[in-house]
Amino acid sequence: RGRGAGEAMLAHALDILRERDVSWVYLAVRASNTRAAELYRRFGFREIGRHRSYYAQPPEDALVLAMDLTPRGCS
């Protein structure tokens, strides 16, 4: 934790998706996983919804995040 591995992996994954002309990326993250949610937000993901009781063990909501990878969406 705290060594930048998650940031490096996410940056690499987004680069690959851009190379493949992917327009949008969607993901779900546990509502309690604030470190991950903040990482995604720093990269430009925006919260677009919430799945109630998405996770079973323990029961928890999932935040749904999305990111526009098109040139106009990348600012």
Q: What pLDDT shows up at residue 72?
A: 74
CATH-assigned architecture of domain 5-68: 3-Layer(aba) Sandwich (3.40)
Cα torsion for 73, 42, 24, 27, to the nearest 10°? -160
Q: Which two tokens stand for residue 30?
A: 């546990």
Q: Where are the domains of the chain?
A: 5-68
pLDDT > 70 fraction of the chain, expressed in percent and rounded? 93
pLDDT at 28 over 80: yes
User: Measuring CA to CA, how many Å separate 8 from each of 12, 15, 41, 54?
Assistant: 6, 11, 15, 27
Sheet order of strands, 60-68 included = 24-30, 60-68, 46-55
pLDDT at 73 over 60: no
